[in-house]
Amino acid sequence: MPVLLVTHERYLEHDTGRWHPERPARMGAALRGIEAAGTAEDLVRLAPTPATRDQVARVHDATMVDALERFCREGGGEIDTDTIACPQSFEVALLAAGAGLSAIDALDRGEADAAFCAVRPPGHHATPTRLMGFCLVNNIAVTASALADRGERVMIVDWDAHHGNGTQEVFWEDDRVLFVSMHQYPFWPGTGALDDVGAGRGTGFTINVPFAAGTPGDAYRAAVEEVVVPAAERFGPTWLLLSAGFDAHRADPLTDLGLSAGDYVELTRRVVELVPAGHRIAFLEGGYDLDALARSAGSCVAALSGEAYRPEASTTGRQGREVVAAVRHQHGL
């Protein structure tokens, strides 16, 4: 099946410094992994166009966007101890936010069955009013808002090891978007507890699966089958957006979960079945061991294209099933 590979060489211009985990080398690793997966014949390369200010303002306060542009124009630097911007970062962030929007247009034209947005900086920690966690603009939230505003029912599945607090905050009171996050907990950024379920019209449309350190892939697969699938059946999504962070891999230096690249094969295959072909977009988020990132990104894209590629065996263990049971009880699934 054809897959859009949405990326741009300008993503390398976002310079976070030599020793920062979210570094330009991540982009090269992800693209090498995709090439190694043997999906070249299935890939349709697409250069994105930048998101506009109005498109970004669907999810971010305009004063924050203006402040980021000014900060970068004045030379950039540390936004906080984790989050860095350079003079080019504002333009690069708009280009990253535009990747999903460009993917929507191409998928609407029937150019592929799915899209993988190999972008940086990542986005899922950026809140409506705060830049944090390596993130400047919430790429997946910009895309989800555009789809919801045209009447789509959007399901976001986030399996980055760090909870997608920014995405959760954007859609906390929104019943047009179902947000499901599987992440390490307790862990940075401190959000994503079991009883974080949304508010107002959005009550029940945020589902958090807070796994303890060491959780292996079979618990994630159980969460997909026993939480994600029934939640989707109840919600009826028309589009699936995937925050494809790969830092839950057991080799990642920043986290303590136990997944492998083989687990991402099975997770991707299952979640894309929840919506029709042509309505599936994945976004690169975390993943900081370059070899693990390469294998995992390749596994995800191969699964999107329907190719048989498994560079590592899936993982199993005894941990995590009690969390899945607790989530099912919390949400009546």
- Give the per-residue pLDDT at 308: 87
Contact at 8 Å (CB) between 215 and 263? no
pLDDT tens for the chain, 333 residues long, are 899 999 999 999 999 998 999 999 999 999 999 999 999 899 999 999 999 999 999 999 999 999 999 999 999 999 999 999 999 999 999 999 999 999 999 999 999 999 999 999 999 999 999 999 999 999 999 999 999 999 999 999 999 999 999 999 999 999 999 999 999 999 999 999 999 999 999 999 999 999 999 999 999 999 999 999 999 999 999 999 999 999 999 999 999 999 999 999 999 999 999 999 999 999 999 999 999 999 999 999 999 999 989 999 999 999 999 999 999 999 999
- SS3 of residue 293 by DSSP: helix
- Could you list the residue range(s) of the whole structural domain that residue 161 is in? 3-331
CA distance 4 to 11: 17
Contact at 8 Å (CB) between 189 and 227? no
Peptide bond into 237 cis (omega under 30): no
Active site residues: 125
Closest to 116 measured CA to CA, from 190, 45, 170, 215: 45
Number of domains in the chain: 1
| Angle (nearest 5°) at CA 212 between 209 and 213 | 135
13: amino acid identity, one letter: E
**CATH number reported for the structural domain that contains residue 267 in this entry:** 3.40.800.20
Closest to 244 measured CA to CA, from 210, 227, 267: 267
